[in-house]
Every structure is written in structure tokens, then in C-alpha cells.
Structure 1
Amino acid sequence: MDPIIAATHADPYPYYAQLRAEGGLVFHQGLNLWVASSATAVAAVLAHPDCHVRPVGEPVPRTIVEGLAGEVFGRLMRMNEGERQRCPRSAIEPGLALIDPVEIQALVSARLITPDAEGLSKAMFYGPVCVVATLLGFSPAQTRVVNQLTADFVACLSPLSTPLQLDRTHKAAEQLRGYFFELLDDPDVRSPLLNGIKQRFASSDNEMLIANLIGLCSQTYEATAGLIGNALVALIRDPLLLRDVDSFLAEVQRLDPSVQNTRRFVVAPCVIDGINLNPGDTLLVLLASANRDPQLNDDPDTFLLDRPNRRSFTFGAGRHQCPGQTLALSIASATLRQILAIKPDFGCLTWHYRPSLNGRIPMFVEAKNT
């Protein structure tokens, strides 16, 4: 086990506890990076101005730097600091918190979900992006295309992607760019979300805006799928946990988050949790471990539906905290309600975790009869 393999391990949480016991911020020789596992260390790293989201010498991964996916990646607010992060965030974030959960429920309910493994997979991966695309003003036919293109585009965000996947991601970026250009130029679009974003976007750089609208879809794709999937895993293991959907999801995202870790790169000498760090150092930030730190939450390994003062790093913290937390939870809540309404036979399902260096996304399959 190591802190990266842990993300897709059947049960990484005892290992995380072991890491916390060894020190909140320690150097891992095998991975050649610092590992932040305690709540104190994770909070300090996420808040520190000299801990950036990309290494100075590689703002765009070498594997995609020559293609259009690299151009989009380089403009994403989540991959930038300073004004290139603040400007698109200030345009996009306010509108996401104002979306009516009733509207989200209606959009989710309009999609057919079947109770088998394939149907649950589609609900996890297809539904959330289709909701966001619809809220942005795309037609039903366009949302289906945008969803598939987003599925191809997210490959550029993973170091595990094959050359063939990366080739497809450049093509997907080009097509998504075209769809969003047309959307922004269409005077007949009646989207309060998109119109608000356009009004708040304090720049004439349409490419920056389009990249971050693509980013909104790509962040929705995997993180929300993992949230829904991990909620289903919790229900399969103990159906009695569910009494209130929203409280249930709030505890699932803390106890078994879809984003297990993130990275930061030191750009200037600094001290974090008593450790001297130097420019060029890499930090692996174990969000999932911090969520279960007893210093952050009492009785952290127990699923408590009515947990008082629940605290979590699942959606990040500080300047790079996920702006779509409320939206993601609303989509997951609506989707889970819809799945429960069709009464799937959870006993017929098994799962494995999608290959990833940081995500925890269960992939459901029909259990074989023995």
C-alpha cells in the first residue's frame, strides 16, 4: 500500500490512520514527495499561498501540451493561481449556489434510470453532466453530445490515460469549444445560469470563459459520479443508514469521498506543520485521511447521519475550494432519490473501483451466480 494506491483500495482508511500516527506531514521516499495526512497539515497546505496547484515548470502536463486539450487545461481556474483563477471563479461560482434544487430534481426525473448495473452507471456518469449542460442552455440533443465529449475530455486530466485516449481528448476539446462558442453567440439562449456568468465575467477573453465552462462539465463528470456511487456502496453495505437523503449524502462525502487526494507544488521556501519545504517540493494532500482525523471530527470512523458540526475537506478549502459543492450535492441527492424510487436489487450488484490516482469511483457490475 502507498498513499496513491490507497485511493482505489477496498478499504484505505486504516492505512490513512497509520499515516496520521506517523506524523501529519512526512516525506515518502518511494514516491519522492511529502504526504499531508492530518487535518492540521491538510488545512495548512491548502491555505498556503506558496503551495500552487501546478508545478512552475509544467503549467500544462507534457502529454497534452501540444494539443487543444492542453490549451483548455492551461486556462482552467482550478489549474491556475492569481487573476487567472479569481476572474473565472467570481463569474461562475455565484450562479451555482442559486440553482433551485426543485429544478434539478425535475431534470433528473426526466431521465430514464433502469435498476441494473448499466442503468446505475449511466445515472452516475451521464445524468450529472446532462443536468449541468441543460442548465447552461443546451438542447436535449446537444446535452447528450456534450456529455459524451466531456467523458472523452476528462482523460486529459489523468496521468493513467493511454495515447489513444489523449488523442480523443484533443478532438473532444475542439468539439466542446465549438459547442460553447455557438452557445455564447446564440441570442435566444434562455439560461439564467449562463447569462449570469456572462455578466459577471470581467474579461474579454472568450477562450478563458469557454475553457472554464468545459471545466464545469468535466469536474461534474467524475466527482459527482463518485459521490453517487459511494452513496450506493454505503447503502448496499447497510440499507438502514438511510433515513434522510441529504444528511446521508453529507456523511458519505465525508466518510468515503470521491476525491481522495490532491496535489500542491511548493514555489517558495515555506514552513508547514513545522516542516521546512523548498521550491520544487511536491505535496500529496490526503483529503480523505483528514476527514477521518479525530482532531477534525469526533468518532470519525463511524457513520453518523446526524453528526454535529460535520467538517470535511472533500471539496477542498481556501482559494481552490470547489465552487460547485452545493450543485454536486443537489444533483447527487436528486439522482439517489430517483434510483431508490425504482427499487434496484442491490443484492445482484458488485463493484470495483475505476483506475485512478486520486478518485474513488465505484463501477457496478452484475454479480455472477455461484
Structure 2
Amino acid sequence: MDPIIAATHADPYPYYAQLRANGGLVFHQGLNVWVASSARAVAAVLAHPDCHVRPSHEPVPKAIVGGMAGKVFGQLMRMNEGERQRCPRLAIQPGLASIDAVEVNALVAARLITPGAEGLYKAMFRGPVCVVAALLGFSPAQGRAISELTGDFVACLSALGEQAQRDAAHVAADHLSGYFVELLDDPNNQSALLAGIRQRFAATSGDAEMLIANLIGLFSQTYEATAGLISNALLALIRTPSLHSESTPIDDLIAEVQRFDPSVQNTRRFVAAPCEIDGVSLNSGDVILVLLASANRDPQLNDHPDVFLLDRPERRSFTFGAGRHQCPGQGLALGIASATLHQILAMKPSLDQLKWHYRPSLNGRIPLFSDCP
């Protein structure tokens, strides 16, 4: 076991507990990275101004430099620091925070969710992107196409991606950009979300390409993280049948799942200047693997952290990050996941007839389901 393999291990949480017991921030010789596993260390790393989301010598992964996917990647607020991070965030975050939950529920309910593993896959991956697309003013048909393109685009964000996937990601990024060019030129667009984002973006930056890149970023962030919320909630119901009841508060279930068994297990930070964190001296160029899932299970963060509690008081979690790079769409992701799970359970699915395995990933924990023969 190591901190990377742990992300898709059947039960990585005892291993995370061992890491915390050995120190909140320690060096892993095999991976050649520092590992932050305790809540205190994770909070300190995420808050430190010299811990950046990309290495200074490689702002865009070498594998996608020179293509459209790399061009989009290089402008994403979640992959930048300073003004290139703050300006898009100031434009986008207020709109995401003000989205009406009733509208989200209606958009999810309007989608046809079919039974079986294939229906679950579409509900997990395609549905959330279609909801965000509708909120921005795209038609249902456009939303379906955009969800497929988003799947192709996010494949290039994984180090496990192959060249064919990277080629497809460049094509997808180009098509997604084209969709937004047309949308932004449409005088009949009635999206309050898009209008607010455009207005705030114009006040901080006039860079249309950066705006489009970060709108594409809304889709890419929605795609896997929300799918993981939904699928890990289903897995919780499979593993604990007593939770599968008409009286189960779905919002609380989703909230506890994102703490207890999150879809994003870890992230990375790159040290830009010599600094000291949690009593450890770090050098410029050091890499820190930040174990968000481990911190969520730290007793210093949550009482009885290894117990799944729907009514957990003062629930705390690092799943959506913290500080300047905290996910701006946390509320929207939780809302879409909750509404989608409501619709899935309304079909009274035979969850005990499903098999599952984790999607290959270095940091994501996303169960994929298949029907038992």
C-alpha cells in the first residue's frame, strides 16, 4: 500500500490512520513526495501561500502543451495562482452560490433516468453536466453533446491517460470552446447565471478566452467529482442496507458520504519557496501529496470519524478543499448529487444486483457499476 494506491483500495482508511500516527507531514521515500495526512497538516498546506497548485517550471502538463486542451488547462482558475486565480473565481463563485435548489431539483427531475448499470452511469456522469449546461442556457440536446465532450476532455487531466485520449481531449476542448463562443454571442440567452458571470468577469478581466476556459472548467469539475458523490452514496447504501429507507434524509446521506468516503481522495501542492509547515522545513520544488480523505477521518477534525453518522453535528471536511482554492461549486455539486440520488432511489433499484469496481485513478474514488449476470 502507498498513498496513491490507497485512493482506489477497497478500504484505505486504516492505512491513512497509520500515516497520521507516524506524523502529520512526513516524507515518502518511494514516491519522493511529502505526505500530509493529518487535519492540521492538510489545513496548513492548503492555506500556505507558497504551496501552489502547479509546479513553477511546468504550469501546464507536458503531455498536453501545444494543444487546445493545454490552452484551456493553462487558464483554469483551479490551476493558477494570484490574479489568474482570483479574477475568474470572483466572477464565478457568487453565481454558483446563488443558484436556486428548486431549479436544480427540477432540472434533475426532467432527465430520464433508466434502471440498471447503464442508466446509473448516465445519471452519474452525464446528468450533472447537463444540469450545469442548462443553468448556463444550453438546450437539452446541446447539454447531452457537451456531457460527452466533457468526458473526453477530463481524460487528459489524468496522468493515466493515453495519447489517443489526449488527442481526443484536444478535439473536445476545441468543440466545447465553440459551444461557448456561440452561447456568448446569442442575444436570446436568458441564463441569469451566465449573465452574472459575464458582468463580474468584465469588471475584472476582458479576456474572453479565460472566461470560456473557466466555463469549460465548470463542466470538468462537475463531471467526476459529482459522479463520485452519487456512486459512493449508492455504495454506502449497498454496504449498509439499513440506510436504504424512504425516511433516510438524502441530503444528510450525501453530506456524510463526502466526508466519510470522498470521491476526491488526494490533491497535490508544489512548494514555490523555502518554508516551514507543521514544524517541517520544505524546499522550493518539493511536492506535497495532500490526503484530503485522511484528514476527514482525523479525530482532531471530527469526533468518532470512522462512524457513518447521518446526523453528525458540526460535520467538517476537506473534500472540496480549503482556502483560496476551495471548490466554488460545493453547494451546487451536493445539490445535484442529492437530487440525482432522490431520482435513482425513486425507481426502487435492485442495488443488491449490482457489481462494482473503482475507476482507475491516482486521486479519485469513483465506483463504476455493472449488472450481475
Per the normalisation by structure 2, the TM-score is 0.98
What's 1:224 paired with? 226
Among 239, 263, 272, the alignment partner of 2:241 is 239
**Could you tell me how far apart the structure 2 residues matched to 1:310 and 1:143 are?**
34
- After TM superposition, list the pairs within 5 Å mapping 1:315-326 onto structure 2: 315-326=320-331
**Could you tell me how far apart the structure 2 residues matched to 1:322 and 1:360 are?**
17
What's 1:360 paired with? 365
Q: Deviations over 1:268-296 (max 9, x none)?
A: 01000100000000000000000000000
**SS of match in other structure, 1:126:** helix
**Could you tell me how far apart the structure 2 residues matched to 1:60 and 1:23 are?**
32
- Structure 1 contact 34–283 (Cα < 8 Å) conserved: yes
Q: Deviations over 1:87-123 (max 9, x none)?
A: 0000000011111111111111111111201111110
- Structure 1 contact 241–305 (Cα < 8 Å) conserved: no
Q: Deviations over 1:45-95 (max 9, x none)?
A: 000000000000000000000101000000000000000000000000001
Per the normalisation by structure 1, the TM-score is 0.99
What's 1:130 paired with? 130
What's 2:210 paired with? 208
- After TM superposition, list the pairs within 5 Å mapping 1:1-370 onto structure 2: 1-201=1-201, 202-241=204-243, 243-368=248-373
Q: Give the aligned residue type for 1:327.
A: L
Q: Give the aligned residue type for 1:329.
A: L
Structure 2, gaps ≥5 residues long? none
**Could you tell me how far apart the structure 2 residues matched to 1:13 and 1:350 are?**
22
- Structure 1 contact 128–224 (Cα < 8 Å) conserved: yes
1:330 is displaced (CA, Å) by 0.4
Size of the aligned set, in residue pairs, is 368
Q: Give the aligned residue type for 2:213.
A: A
Amino-acid identity (%): 76
Q: Deviations over 1:323-342 (max 9, x none)?
A: 00000000001000000100
**Could you tell me how far apart the structure 2 residues matched to 1:69 and 1:367 are?**
37
**SS of match in other structure, 2:64:** coil
1:235 is displaced (CA, Å) by 0.5
**Could you tell me how far apart the structure 2 residues matched to 1:123 and 1:333 are?**
12
**SS of match in other structure, 1:111:** coil
**SS of match in other structure, 2:74:** helix
Structure 1, gaps ≥5 residues long? none
**SS of match in other structure, 2:62:** coil
**SS of match in other structure, 1:313:** coil
**Could you tell me how far apart the structure 2 residues matched to 1:156 and 1:199 are?**
31
**SS of match in other structure, 2:160:** coil
Q: Give the aligned residue type for 1:300.
A: P
Cα root mean square deviation, aligned: 0.7
